[in-house]
Copies of this chain bind each other. A is one copy, B any other.
């Protein structure tokens, strides 16, 4: 039987053997929720990069640059890290280069050894689960966390995916068990559950409550973003 495992932060990724595993990266507030939204609205590709410099370079070469650090847009870039910014008409068919505090670093770390890298969020949870059921590989959910530490919202997403896949996958490790229990306990009110988390307090100070509510909606989009040749695209 296939296994599903949860890695609570990229700082622990070296403890996971990814050689037979698809990695699902989750940075719920807000990088991967933005990626899913953009690709669902017709963005052609999103190139995740680890540094501001790479992002700037790609912007100079004609891509649309999106750069966030510490939950704020960096100066000199065209796009911010709010999912509502990814619904714009001028982004249909566009190529985006993106760097964020946690999410894009997780993607660049995972791609070194994983069979395949997908991007997950509550917005495309059902589509992801369906796709993973159809594959032969194990699954590792990589929570982006916050600056190396685990966070609540990404753990809840990992728990939601584990919960959806528990009939088809073995859930053996304690990290997985803990994520699933935290999700089960709060599945009926995710918004209340994250209200006290450190990142939500951080985002609320920036006045982006509506982003939080949006990112906690389940199954808005039927797409699975996959990394191909360094670019995230909607799986055909």
**Docked-complex contact A152 and B172, CB < 8 angstroms:** no
* Contact of A9 with B by CB under 8 A: yes
A152-210 CB contacts (< 8 Å) to partner B: 152, 155, 172-175, 177-178, 181-182, 185, 196-199
Chain A interfacial residues counted at CB < 8 A: 26
In the bound complex, what is the Cα–Cα distance between A198 and B8 (angstroms)? 16
Binding site for B on A (CB under 8 A): 8-9, 11-12, 15, 146-152, 155, 172-175, 177-178, 181-182, 185, 196-199
Contacting pair B178 A185 (CB below 8 A):
no
In the assembled complex, the Cα of A148 lies from the Cα of B9 at a distance in Å of: 12
Q: Quick one: closest B residue to A150, CB to CB?
A: B175
Chain B residue contacts of A148, Cβ below 8 A? 12, 15
Distance, CA A150 to CA B177, complexed state (A): 11
A172 and B185 alpha carbons, distance in the complex (Å):
20
- With A152-B177, A181-B185 already in contact, 10 other A-B pairs whose C-beta atoms are closer than 8 Å: A8-B150, A11-B11, A15-B149, A149-B173, A150-B175, A172-B198, A174-B197, A174-B199, A182-B182, A185-B185
- Given A152-B178, A174-B152, A181-B185, A147 contacting B15 (CB threshold 8 A): yes
The 11 sampled A-B contact pairs (Cβ below 8 Å) are A11-B15, A15-B147, A15-B149, A149-B173, A152-B174, A152-B177, A152-B178, A173-B198, A177-B196, A178-B182, A181-B182
User: Could you say which residues of chain B place their CB within 8 Å of the CB of A196?
Assistant: 177
Say whether A175 contacts B197, CB under 8 Å.
no
Nearest CB on B from A148, distance (A): 5
Complexed CA–CA distance, A196 and B182 (Å): 15
Q: Which residues of B contact A181 (CB under 8 A)?
A: 182, 185
Assembly CA distance A173 to B148 (angstroms): 12
Q: Is the CB of A198 within 8 A of B174?
A: yes
CB contacts (< 8 Å) of A198 on chain B: these are 172-174, 177
| Cα–Cα, bound, A198→B173 (Å) | 6
